[in-house]
Structure 1
Amino acid sequence: MATPFTHLHRLLAMTTAVTRRWRPRSLLQLVLLAFLMVMLPLAVLMFQAGQALSELSRLADISARQAVEETRRARNLGALALEMERGARQYAVVEEASLLEIYAERVREFRQLLAQHALMLPDDPDVQALREQVDELARLPELPMEAFRQRLDDFLPFARHIEAMRQATGARIDARIDEIRVRAEVVQTRLWWQTAALVSASLLLMLLFTRLIIRPVRQLERRILGIGSGAQTGPTPAIQGPAELVSLDERLDWLASRLSELEEQKQQFLRHMSHELKTPLASVREGSSLLADGVAGELTPRQREILDLIDVSGGELQQLIEQLLDYNLLQHQQRFTPERLDIATIVKEVLAKHRLALLQKEMAVSCFDGPLVWQADRTAISRVLDNLISNAVAYGEDGGELEVRAHPRHDRLVVEVANSGEPIPPEDRPRLFEPFYQGRVRRKGALKGSGIGLSVAADCARLQHGRLELVDDPRLAVCFRLTLPRQVAVSDTPDEKRASAIEGADARS
């Protein structure tokens, strides 16, 4: 039983040595090598099984031939003994000399067959007795007739010994069959162990080559995911594997560098465009402000109406430029600084920025009461609230409602900004937070939106390990929910943490 495991150990050692010394240069070579190495133990198993079956077949054939020959010889010995007795008794009756010649011929044939049979049963007592008796019976023709007739009774023990010899022959044949059966069981057991060992070796080789093939593929998969998500920042280790996969890794390096260049060009374009747009816009807004102050003379009501439109459109354009700057900044800055803030105060500050727009749309605003202290990044949460309220002003209905709700929990803060108006179509919801995506619902006003406000808000939420999502509200058409986990600043002392918990409990009550 130790032999199959020894073969398995040698096979694994040989495979490891071959793998270390020679690596396939192509995926086709690796697959062909894997096929050959996996089939090798199975081929050895088939060869050994064929050898064992050939051996058993040969033993069975020899045993069958010997059994037939020995059985026929034993039967012939019995027939010759019967003819000898019949010839002797006939001679005792008719006293014809030709019968003695036939008798002597049968004795000679019997001796020859008995000598052959004695090779199979060398130590059998009945065979020895038959040899002695056939010598005595061969001397019968030399005796006088009276003595000849008296010795005819010697054929009775002679027949008994022949019958005993036939039984011994049958027992010998049965013993040989039992030996073949035992040998077959041993061979079968050996084949089972060899099958288990060699099939296990094939499975191990399959796992080994599967790992050799799958490992570089998974490395490429992680590389592609890293390139797609933008998480890959430093150099990656080179892939060790077939030439096709190594070449693909090199092409991914080229693709990653090319994407980095394009991303840098995009960021540079956004920075330059935002700067170039802010400079003339500042001049336009300054000029409209001077006209509104009457520097160029008194304005008619119609002129003041046009000037107000210019000023409002300039403000909206400035807001779009600031959103582009925020988007560009979030692509590079992935850190935030949590501090203790009163969320209610920040919401009121953001609402104050949009007071004129809310009055112009005659929207009814309701906000939760403070104070509500939470650990958050001031700039990030202000951007989220500013974009959500700006979105509500741009897409909400005139004379509608705007609600800002807050629900502090033990481990998170939930802030909801909901407004009445046209609901967002279901086909727009999956891509709602993608940059520069604009849905089917059009913005109300002269200036078209950029489609990055919600993307900036979602990025600011993720920056604080939170999330921004669109939820269903039973009363208002559009409801955005901002969820922020509880953050603990490094500088917080136990007393400050306890005070924060008390303030949060007061807000919930």
Structure 2
Amino acid sequence: MTIRVTRRWRPRSLFQLVLLAFLVVMLPLGVLMFQAAQALSELSRLADVSARQAVEETRRARTLGILALELERSARQYAVVEQESLLDIYVERLGEYRDLLAEQRELLGEEGDVAVLARQLELLERLPELPRELFEQQLAIFPAFAERTESMRRATNRHIDARIETIRERAETVQARLWLQTAALVSASLVLMLLFSWLIIRPVRQLERRILGIGSGAPRSTARPVQGPAELVQLDERLDWLASRLEELEAEKQQFLRHMSHELKTPLASVREGSALLADGVAGELSPPQREILELIDASGGELQRLIEQLLDYNLLQHNRQVTPERLDVATVVREVLAKHRLALANKGMAVSSFDGPLEWSLDHTATSRLLDNLISNAIAYGEDGGVLEIRARRRGDRLEVEVANSGEPIAEADRPRLFEAFYQGQARRKGPLKGSGIGLSVAADCARIQQGQLELVEDPRLAVCFRLTLPAGLHASLPLNPELALEASHPARN
């Protein structure tokens, strides 16, 4: 069958959903990496350009200082020796200084030192045209000229330092922006991761609930269709098909058990009725050996009828897990059950000891009677011939404890973990002509669980086998069995 789920969008496969989740989660991180690379590239380019300019400007300022010294030296040498070559050198260095100063002015602008140097340079350009006396007088300008050149070099250094500081502030701004972007984009990635994890885990948990529902027998109409990738939706459809098949098989099992009980009970009733007629002497008086054989047939027929009823009780408990509590005297319920086994106990030669009432408690009469019936039957089948059967009850706070103990062979340690499993046969051999069904104490355990109680095997200082039933107070009507309890491991007991 196919379940159509209406939605805006759904990935076609789990692989597509995982791939999409990976791409979407990585997208903010990719954007972050791209922006970080762009910012680092910009800072690197800016630092490279600034470094080149700083080297060039520093070299230019240093060259201007050297040219200022060469100008002064060549001028003073010319004043002493009056060689025209020295004047040519002066003019050449002056031109180089003028060109470098023009480039430096583009960097520093019209600062005080640059403007003064420009005016001093105009005076120095007129020196070659002056007479010797004036030429020597104008040589006094060179110390101030050299000082201004040195001041311009220091201004250039300050300008370079200011540019470096600007780059540093820009780097800090970029770093702060990258941290904010990292926090925002990584948070977005985490949110997307949680979103896609939820999209993947949600259908898996829905499938888990479906499986638990199938195991606990919950009706299919209460299950919501799985919404998710196509593989999980298809798996949900397969689970739905499996649930329908299990319901069909369960119905077939119920029908088989009903037919089997009918087919077995009808000839069994005829056998028991015939044995009763023979015992009453309808066909004539019986000899002692014949009567002994007849009693064996009747006892075996009764045992077979009890096994059939146990099987039907087990099947009933698997489907009708509701209780109808009422305020009852526990001692009265125990006496009713013991009355059913009076002949079997007498044939076994067992001494019965039971507690005195009244002891009122809220419990389900049918489930409690069936539980005690199976415990007493178990004691008769496995207990010691001529032994002891004790039934004890006591209050412990808000709980009731009922113990059924008998003498005989202790339960083997290897059997204890599985003795409450249905159809499990332990190592102990059943006394009597028929073999047990292996579901007696499984039915008893279910009767305890549907009343929110517990049946367990406990140690007794005097008797070999002791089962303890613990029931809580305030049992509510029509309380279904918790599905988780149905899946719990069985408590140690014996079938």
TM-score, normalised relative to structure 2:
0.92
Aligned in 2, Cα 1:144/1:157: closer, same or farther, shift over 3 Å? same
Matched, 1:358 2:345: yes
Structure (1/2) with the larger helix percentage: 1
Q: Kindly state the Cα deviation for residue 463 of structure 1 after the two structures are TM-superposed.
A: 2.0
Partner of 2:104: 117
Partner of 1:168: 155
Partner of 1:323: 310
Matching residue within 272, 275, 280 for 2:259: 272
Q: Distance in 2 between matches of 1:488 and 1:266?
A: 31
Deviations 1:75-106 (A, max 9, x none): 10001001001101111111111111110110
Partner of 2:268: 281
Deviations 1:309-363 (A, max 9, x none): 1111111111111112212322332222111211111112212222222222222
Once the two structures are overlaid, the 10-residue window that deviates more, 206-215 or 298-307, is: 298-307
Aligned in 2, Cα 1:472/1:234: closer, same or farther, shift over 3 Å? farther
Partner of 2:207: 220
Matching residue within 367, 379, 384 for 2:371: 384
Aligned in 2, Cα 1:489/1:262: closer, same or farther, shift over 3 Å? closer
In structure 2, give the amino acid aligned to 1:406.
A
Deviations 1:91-127 (A, max 9, x none): 1111111111110110110000000001110032111
Q: Distance in 1 between matches of 2:456 and 2:213?
A: 25
Aligned in 2, Cα 1:434/1:145: closer, same or farther, shift over 3 Å? same
Q: Is the 8 A contact 1:100 1:141 kept in 2?
A: yes
Q: Kindly state the Cα deviation for residue 489 of structure 1 after the two structures are TM-superposed.
A: 7.2
SS in 2 for 1:84: helix
Once the two structures are overlaid, the 10-residue window that deviates more, 361-370 or 248-257, is: 361-370
Matched, 1:43 2:30: yes
In structure 2, give the amino acid aligned to 1:397.
E
Q: Distance in 2 between matches of 1:371 and 1:85?
A: 133
Q: Distance in 2 between matches of 1:27 and 1:485?
A: 48
Partner of 1:458: 445
Partner of 2:18: 31
Aligned in 2, Cα 1:130/1:481: closer, same or farther, shift over 3 Å? same
Q: Distance in 2 between matches of 1:258 and 1:56?
A: 70
Q: Distance in 1 between matches of 2:177 and 2:219?
A: 55
Aligned in 2, Cα 1:201/1:135: closer, same or farther, shift over 3 Å? same
Q: Kindly state the Cα deviation for residue 233 of structure 1 after the two structures are TM-superposed.
A: 4.5
Q: Is the 8 A contact 1:271 1:328 kept in 2?
A: no
Q: Kindly state the Cα deviation for residue 458 of structure 1 after the two structures are TM-superposed.
A: 1.5
Q: Is the 8 A contact 1:274 1:324 kept in 2?
A: no
Aligned in 2, Cα 1:234/1:479: closer, same or farther, shift over 3 Å? farther
Partner of 2:91: 104
Partner of 2:227: 240
Matched, 1:192 2:168: no
Partner of 1:333: 320
Partner of 2:170: 183
Q: Kindly state the Cα deviation for residue 426 of structure 1 after the two structures are TM-superposed.
A: 3.4
Partner of 2:59: 72
TM-score, normalised relative to structure 1:
0.90
Partner of 2:432: 445
In structure 2, give the amino acid aligned to 1:231.
A
Q: Distance in 2 between matches of 1:426 and 1:42?
A: 61
Aligned in 2, Cα 1:474/1:123: closer, same or farther, shift over 3 Å? farther
Partner of 2:469: 482
Deviations 1:371-414 (A, max 9, x none): 11111111111000000110111111223322211111332211
Partner of 1:4: none
Aligned in 2, Cα 1:298/1:355: closer, same or farther, shift over 3 Å? same
Q: Kindly state the Cα deviation for residue 24 of structure 1 after the two structures are TM-superposed.
A: 1.1
Partner of 2:329: 342
Moved over 6 A (4+): none
Matched, 1:297 2:288: no
Q: Is the 8 A contact 1:336 1:377 kept in 2?
A: yes
Unmatched 5+ stretches in structure 2: 1-6, 478-495
Once the two structures are overlaid, the 10-residue window that deviates more, 20-29 or 142-151, is: 20-29
SS in 1 for 2:317: helix
Aligned in 2, Cα 1:470/1:118: closer, same or farther, shift over 3 Å? same
Q: Kindly state the Cα deviation for residue 21 of structure 1 after the two structures are TM-superposed.
A: 4.8
Q: Is the 8 A contact 1:330 1:456 kept in 2?
A: yes
Aligned in 2, Cα 1:46/1:488: closer, same or farther, shift over 3 Å? closer
Matching residue within 227, 231, 235 for 2:218: 231
Q: Distance in 2 between matches of 1:176 and 1:37?
A: 41
Q: Distance in 1 between matches of 2:466 and 2:155?
A: 103
Once the two structures are overlaid, the 10-residue window that deviates more, 397-406 or 80-89, is: 397-406
Percent identity over the alignment is: 75
SS in 2 for 1:415: strand
SS in 2 for 1:332: coil
Count the aligned residue pairs.
471
